[in-house]
Structure 1
């Protein structure tokens, strides 16, 4: 099992890779949708953070959403046509940053034993962080495809870590063993 601190570094690395996929794009490229039933890159950015918040909230610590107005918009259970307009790039960036800070705070508290049931939550935290890293990369695949194929931008190299590999074309946290 990976330890929580190492997984937090992988989470940061995955988020940094995501940033390489979108930070040089224009606001129009971030909000552009390939077709009416397709999500924009900006939606995927918000969704990645939305899932991270809800996983941490539901599995380790009940806390309010950092931006409740985005909850319905970024929920993949809501069909595309009912999600509404994307927020500004600045708001998406702030949402992603706040969620990442909260993930770090909660996972660091767990790793430091500053929670009830520290042993049990350490196991939950390792699986949760593995899922967050893999979910980040899952949506990076789509972002990368739109970036390269539809928008004509080069892709950055895969993250430089021995902990990530490609499986079925997707970057994933390498399984142990």
Structure 2
């Protein structure tokens, strides 16, 4: 199993890859939906951060949502047609950055032993970060498909890491590599 510092670097690498997939797109491309029962790239961006926030909150530290108005919108349990309008690209980006900062702060506290049960939370944190990284890449697959196949943009190269591979076409972090 990797240490938390290494996993935080992998988390940053995954987020940077996501940024490579969307930051050069227009706001219209980020909010465009291929069809009525399909989510826009922007939804996937918000959902990635939403899941990271809720996993950190529920598994390591109870804390309020950084943007409560986005909670229902970014929850995949809500059918697409009931989610509502996407926020601006700027708000999505700020949400992602805030959640990332919170992930780093909480896992940094765990790595430094500034929590109750630091050894137990280190195990939880390592699995949590691995899940967050793989969830980021899971949604990157869909974002990349829409980017390339529907919007006609080239894909960036895969992130460079000896710990990454592909399973069923998806980038994944091998927790044992």
Answer yes or no: is the 8 Å Cα contact 2:165–2:174 preserved in 1. Answer: yes
Name 2:76's counterpart in structure 1: 76
* Deviation digits for residues 51-77 of structure 1 (CA, Å, limit 9, x no counterpart): 000000000000000000000000000
2-structure distance, mates of 1:175, 1:4: 12
Q: Which residue of 1 aligns with 2:170?
A: 170
Match of 1:140 in 2: 140
Corresponding pairs, count: 177
1:1-177 alignment, distance < 5 Å? 1-176=1-176
Q: Deviation at 1:163?
A: 1.1
Rounded to whole Å, the distance in 2 between the matches of 1:58 and 1:82 is 25
Following superposition, which runs of at least 4 residues in structure 1 exceed 4 angstroms of deviation?
A: none
For 1:87-139, what per-residue CA distance to the aligned partner results, in whole angstroms no more than 9, with x for missing partners? 00000000000000000000000000000000100000000000000000000
Structure 2 gaps, min length 5? none
CA root-mean-square deviation: 0.6
Distance 1:174 1:120 in 2: 21
**TM-score under structure 2 normalisation?**
0.99
State the Cα deviation string for residues 4-58 of structure 1 (Å, max 9, x = none): 0000000000000000000000000000000000000000000000000000000
- Aligned equivalents of 1:161, 1:2: Cα separation in 2: 13
TM-score of the pair, normalised by structure 1: 0.99
Query: Matched residues in 2 for 1:51 and 1:146: separation?
Result: 21
